[in-house]
Amino acid sequence: MKLAMHITPDIEAPLTHAPIGAMIVERTGVITWANAVCATLMAEPDADRLRLGLVFVWFGEQDAETLRQMFDVFFSAPIAQRDPWTRKFVLHATDGSRPVISLTLAPVAGEDEGRAVVYLRNTTREITAERRFSQMFETLPLGLVVVDAKGRIAQANAMLASQFGHPIEDMVGQPLNMLLPERYRDAHVHQVADYGAAPESRMMAAGRDLTGLHASGREFPVEVALTRFENPGQPLFMAIVGDITHRKRSETALQQTNAQLEEFTYVASHDLRSPLRGIGDLVTWIREDLDEALGKGALPESVTHNFDRITQRIERCEQMIDDLLSYARAGVRDTKLHRIDPRELVEEAMAMAVIPDSFEVEVDVHGKDLMAPRAPLSTSLRNLIANAVKHHGGTAGRIRIAMREEGRFSIFTVEDDGQGIPEGNEERIFKLFHRASPGTDGDGVGLAFTRRMINAHGGMVTVQGNGPLGGATFEVHWPRILLRETDDE
């Protein structure tokens, strides 16, 4: 590194307030003047105390010898050929500190051959930053690879070596293509050239699956982020590589589970409805045959009651099939977003839930409009409000509906002063066909349906069995800001 310095005839004036240390020295190394920054670097209280001292004594023995050689070579050259010369040294300050400095020896413009300017710049912070970066580069639990403009690997960390099964020394200097399946390599050469022409921080091949090639020949899914790597020489680029094998497996397993559940529900709908309807028809025919044989109204009351019970149970089975279908469909995310006023949404859900006049309702909404699918969010709130009335345990009570913003979520709260939920049952109430209150109507699908619908849209619902009002408190965390993996599905 060379610094072109131009010193005015009055050389001390412009250097007095310079942001780096500066001193004027004789060819013998004697200091004739120094500024305040120089004194601070050397831990001296006053720059005047440096005058007539020998510059070499501020360095260790080996560095001092190197600096003497710099002086000899510098002052031996004709003054017209004395270019600034920079090297790094360790300064031995008075207080015992050992800052690493960048020392530049430069000529004094317009003067004779006997003096030079020495500039001192503390590089300790730069070195510390470099060490921290190196430590982070090596220990980050993601693969990191630095690539030059020709697509060759300039640097790689241990995680990348582990991901791809190659020792670091076998990767450095090799084409980045070695980490890609053969079928992608030709296209990748052009992609590297295009990125070099207009580098920007971005995800690589957004919307497409990327595959890496392990040393064993096995391919595995990866996620890659690209960014420019600052370098004073040739341009470099850094890729951050994440092995997403486990995530892909989980996504595939979830997709298969959802597909199997949907398939099962449709099969159940078709295969169970027919025999149920057949049973219902048989019951009707038997009842008509008995009425015809014995006379209208001649059946004992107990027999009539049992016929009614059979009919009711058949109807309940059909309703359960419908609910099962609704539960399966609840796992499908609605991609149509609408701008929603949260207070208007709460009022709409309250109206649809049909709250009795005997219940006092408090609404406390603090939040801005949000972008979300309206139907699933409205349905979820309506179900929770209706649930608060149905399982309250009394004919009158108090319900509080609130909304606040926290992080990337809008949090809706529905709480009541009813009988609450027994300890240990907080998760059980969300299970399919579990009835929270045996004495109430319903088949135990509502809360399971609600949770599945909320989860499908990137949110979550939790419950506190005995909340601030004494009864159950449900909290719905609905995302105001979608994460990339949710948004890109």
CA distance readout (Å), 75 to 65, 207, 287, 388: 15, 63, 123, 91
The band of 4, judged by pLDDT with boundaries at 50, 70 and 90, is: very low
Among 7-16, 107-116, 157-166, 267-276, name the one with the lowest average pLDDT.
Answer: 7-16
State how many domains the chain has. Answer: 4
Q: Are residues 90 and 154 in the same domain?
A: no
In a domain, 58, yes or no: yes
Domain containing 106 — which CATH number? 3.30.450.20
Shared-domain flag, residues 162 and 281? no
pLDDT band at residue 399 using 50, 70 and 90 as cut-offs: very high
Give the pLDDT band of residue 151 (cuts 50, 70, 90). Answer: confident
The answer to whether residues 425 and 481 belong to one domain is: yes
Considering only CA atoms, which of 168, 115, 117, 167 is closest in space to residue 4? 117
pLDDT tens digits, one per residue of 460-476: 999 998 999 999 999 99
- Condensed to tens digits (0 to 9), the pLDDT of residues 362-396 reads 999 998 898 888 888 988 999 999 999 998 888 89
CB atoms within 10 A of CB 77: 13
State which of 284, 299, 329 marks the end of a domain. Answer: 329
The owner of tokens 């020896």 is: 105
Same-domain check for residues 352 and 458: yes
Same domain, 352 and 427: yes
Question: In the chain, what is the greatest distance between 2 CA atoms, to the nearest angstrom?
Answer: 137
CA separation (Å) from 400 to 354, 396, 436, 474?
15, 14, 20, 11
**0.85 exceeded by the pTM?**
no
pLDDT at 187: 79
Q: How confident is the model at residue 206 (pLDDT cuts 50, 70, 90)?
A: low
- Who's near 209: CB < 8 A, 6+ residues apart? 221
Domain residue limits at 474: 338-487
Same domain, 33 and 144: no
Q: Are residues 260 and 232 in the same domain?
A: no
pLDDT in tens, 211-248: 899 999 999 998 888 888 766 667 888 888 988 888 88
Confidence band of 283 (pLDDT split at 50, 70, 90)? confident
Backbone angles phi, psi at 27, to 5 degrees: -65, -20
Tens-place pLDDT, residues 301-325: 888 888 888 888 888 777 767 766 6
In CATH, what number is assigned to the domain containing residue 472?
3.30.565.10
